[in-house]
Amino acid sequence: MARLIFHSSESSPVCVILSLLLSLSASGSSSNAALFIFGDSTVDPGNNNYIKTTSENQANYKPYGQNGFFDKPTGRFSDGRVIVDFIAEYAKLPLIPPFSDPAADCSNGVNFASGGAGVLPETHQGLVIDLPRQLENFEVVQKSLVEKLGEAKASELISEAVYFISIGSNDYMGGYLGNPKMQEDYNPETYVGMVIGNLTQAIQVLYEKGGRKFAFLSLSPLGCLPALRALNPDKANEGGCFEAASALALAHNNALTAVLTGLEHILKGFKYCNSNFYSWLDDRITHPAMYGFKDGANACCGYGPYRGIFTCGGTKNITEYELCEKADDHVWWDAFHPTERIHEQFAKALWNGPPSSVGPYNVEDLFLNRESRLTKIADIVDGPDGNHFQ
């Protein structure tokens, strides 16, 4: 199993945290809890705007952010907001800023996510802020909190915060399927074990630093992303989706479910919300009209088959791209990322979804410190849909 390798941090901005003193003195409502976010382009609010990388790993140009919620492209890989923006709204928090922004106000939490990042430091190495480095950046913020608030108040904020984690797709798409050497060195099962082993260690690091409440966005059916459909060598037999990629995502999700169940019993006070993102998205891809969409296969912005060639914005090697009339009609915004409407639907499900959808806690439970709604272990394993939290 691969080791979790920590890299030394580059110079980091100092958070503006004066308002922490006011927020901590207020009553313990959900609006006073912090939200710390770790991940990849599914939740990156613009950290990659501040690092040296490629245009594939940035989204700070039009038509990203075109739906008008933001006055300009922010670096979010969406036509507007992403899932954690909605989570913050439901928790009565302001938008959580990117760690790399020198003007970031960290009083309500920080977003460390980086488009293209993986759990393994080898994934897109040198072009992204990988998970080990995101953890180092969290340590910078934690030390700053201690300096400003004192040990006791900082520890309280850290323990009451919710830690949202959405990462892993890049390890399988670019890190494995796009890397013949990695496929030669590791079979799929071993590679999934490496990713899960490193992710487990990252969770334990955050726990050791005081984190207790975690929310996870599991992996989507990767083979049905427009980019993977466009590359699929066996479209006719597989209905367009690249099943090898989806199989890796399922294996990852199943392994993560087992790990989280174990950690809940091993780590005192550990609480988590796990999602069935794979099934949620697969259902919308297959039956878009049931959820208010018109197209579950083709991206709104891109080029070629399924608009799956990643050209949105015209900043890459191929500059030509097409743009649909109405992004809300589409499940997919670009070759890899869903539309804001998908982000909102899934944020609502994570926030207050029933035990058949998320569990053992939903995100609202975590913010409000409510007890689990599951009273029997059978509820975890045998939900009405038969595939709980995969």
Looking at the annotation, which residues are catalytic? 41, 334, 337
The CA-atom distances, in angstroms, between 80 and each of 32, 285, 322, 380 are 25, 20, 18, 34
Residue 265, Cβ density class (10 Å: 0-12 exposed, 13-18 middle, ≥19 buried): exposed
- Say how many C-beta atoms besides its own lie within 10 A of residue 284's C-beta: 22
Whether the link from the prior residue into 132 is cis, omega within 30° of 0, is: no
Dihedrals φ, ψ of 51, to 5°? -120, 160
131-149 and 188-208 helices, crossing angle to 10°: 0
**Tokens of residue 257, six digits:** 């479910």
